[in-house]
Amino acid sequence: MKHIKRNCEIKVRLSKCELQALSKKVKKTGMSRETYVRTLLENKIPVEIPPAPYYDLMREVHALGNNMHQLAYRAHALGMIDATAYRRNADKVSRLADRLALVCLPKQESSQSRVLCEEEEQSHSVELSAVKRKR
């Protein structure tokens, strides 16, 4: 990979709320703030680091996939399927899918943080109106 010399700097002013939102998003990815912004500039979506239980669940997925493969191999060799073992593995797959959804699906932003940002924006617009009236 070609090393890029980065010697140009920009300064961006953010409100406290905007900085908090940016910092929160950056932290979820494990990237530096600079890398995060560069990723956005490349029209790429920064990916969040998976939660810790994700890797344990993925090991279980691989183990279940291996079990299903063995069942399919045995069914082909014997010309019949072990319905009990198959059903047991299918149930495990279903339960694991539910657990994966709980761990991996994005969580909703809390309404409290949204309200705080809206309040900050409102107070800022009130301040701007006051400044304009003084002029």
Q: State whether 36 and 80 are in the same domain.
A: no
Q: Are residues 61 and 98 in the same domain?
A: yes
Whether 62 and 94 map to the same domain: the answer is yes
Within a domain: 5: no
pLDDT digits (tens, 9 = 90+) for 75-106: 888 888 888 888 888 888 888 888 887 777 66
Q: What is the pTM of this model?
A: 0.50
Q: Considering the domain boundaries, does residue 83 fall inside one?
A: yes
Q: Which domain holds residue 57?
A: 52-104
Query: Do residue 67 and residue 80 come from a single domain?
Result: yes
Q: Provide the Cα torsion 127, 130, 131, 132; round to 10°.
A: 120
Decide if 72 is inside a domain. yes
Give the whole-angstrom CA distance, residue 72 versus residue 91: 16
Residue 60 lies in a domain: yes
Number of independent structural domains in the chain: 2
- Tell me if 98 sits within 8 A of 91, measured CB to CB: no
Identify the band that residue 48 occupies on the pLDDT scale cut at 50, 70 and 90. Answer: confident
Q: Is residue 70 in a domain?
A: yes
Residue 128 has pLDDT above 50, yes or no: no
